[in-house]
Chain A
């Protein structure tokens, strides 16, 4: 990586010593406004290393906004303002000395609608590492990334064909492979299965269990069964506020808040 030392996340003087149980990623009292409208207010959640954290809540509750704060994708939204802190390994990623490009290289993202580049399957996966100065064997990296995303067997004979020829579910797994190729520690997923059929959804969910072995995953979903099935921790947001955050089992079976109970039992939202 060709980055100034001051911009390296782990080398930054603000970096705190991380203990083993310290959260990898943490939102501390985060408030985000769009041109004066508060999207989320005073939200604090953590993502523990090698676990899946689900963010659930009704439409418009701010769950995608929160997710996009974790890799500074909100920077592209005009008039978006953030206060509070997002800590990655003890470093505030919104610190003026931190380059957002470096943040996004470390913290990968998979979007709601599969968005492969209109290029070959191979180049979709290889592009990210190559522009970030990857010096190793690109071919091997492409293969291992596609394998991790459980797509290799389906595409190994047509790596040079257009990614747009793949099915929706394959495209989404390609997008996951593309994110994995950068060897991130965290992968953010914004309703990654909502545009897919049930079979493809099941494959993505299976994949999540495998990815959990190596990566920290934060996933936004409007599908409560999905959150209950795949996640270790669940954050429930409503109207921009964090209502409840805890282990998924507890949130779904013994919620502390009445509002959470109403939502997870399907009484609203």
Chain B
């Protein structure tokens, strides 16, 4: 009985289609990875010879061999720490309010649409906003504080949207189980909803902060300086940041400065990698501690 299980007419064609789809997805994934690798290799090859302790320890200089990124690196660390301190509590709180407390209403859906739109507004617009409100009205000047507040505005929509997504993924059966045990809504959120959503919230937050660390336009807009020969001592000091320093070096004609910019890019990527690693560790630990 070799008729049993013989292929029907179009099975071969359906299989071919499935195989083609599989292969094209794979090819596109590799394309992305190759582009990234080329970028990384290029920057590393150019910048590596300049990467040494002196580069990290010295301030910018018009002599390439004496130039360093100390002020930019410190500025970026200050900026990102303050931005995280502002944006994470506000963003997560807003997401919890919208997801757990606010009733479905027209105002709520309006907020939802506005958030999605805000996430897509060009960063230069946030720079103008920061210049008007923080630098001028609040009189913060060209300080790290003004920069961090501007960056917080920029990434808040991303944090809120990602956190809401994570909260929404927590099954309702968990909330019901907790409520049925005589838990108040806060106890339910504190002990079950937030721990379950934490990995998602962390991922979204790190993505948002990674965006902030690479942003240049709003910082230029609020007047972060391009040449700074000191490190910020407090949140009200003037500052520069890695992307600005990189931009500054790239715009010079000499080849040496282009190589310095490449070295700066490597440092920037290293900071990013450290942040992501920290997120992975925190996430891992929070999952283990849940038992």
Contacts and interface: CB of A to CB of B under 8 A. Distances in A.
A117 B180 contact: no
Interface in B164-215: 171, 173-184, 187, 191-192, 196
Q: Is the interface of B mostly helix, strand, loop or mixed?
A: helix
Nearest to A131: B187
Contacts, number: 67
B176 A105 contact: no
A161 B288 CA distance: 11
B174 A115 contact: yes
B177 A115 contact: yes
Contact of A127 (B175, B181, B184): B181
A102 interface: yes
A119 B290 CA distance: 6
- Looking at A109, A117, A182, which has the most chain B CB atoms within 10 Å of its CB? A117
B104 interface: yes
A78 B187 CA distance: 21
Nearest to A178: B181
Contacts of A182: 181-182
A93 B273 CA distance: 55
A132 B179 CA distance: 12
A240 interface: no
Interface string A34-48: 000000000000000
A120 B290 CA distance: 8
A80 to B, nearest CB: 13
Contact of A113 (B173, B183, B187, B291): B173
B172 to A, nearest CB: 9
21 contacts: A73-B180, A76-B179, A78-B104, A101-B182, A104-B182, A109-B180, A111-B173, A111-B180, A115-B174, A117-B177, A120-B291, A128-B182, A131-B182, A131-B183, A131-B187, A131-B191, A132-B181, A160-B291, A162-B291, A175-B177, A178-B177
Interface of A: 71, 73, 76, 78, 101-102, 104-106, 108-109, 111, 113, 115-120, 123, 127-128, 131-132, 160-162, 175, 178-179, 182
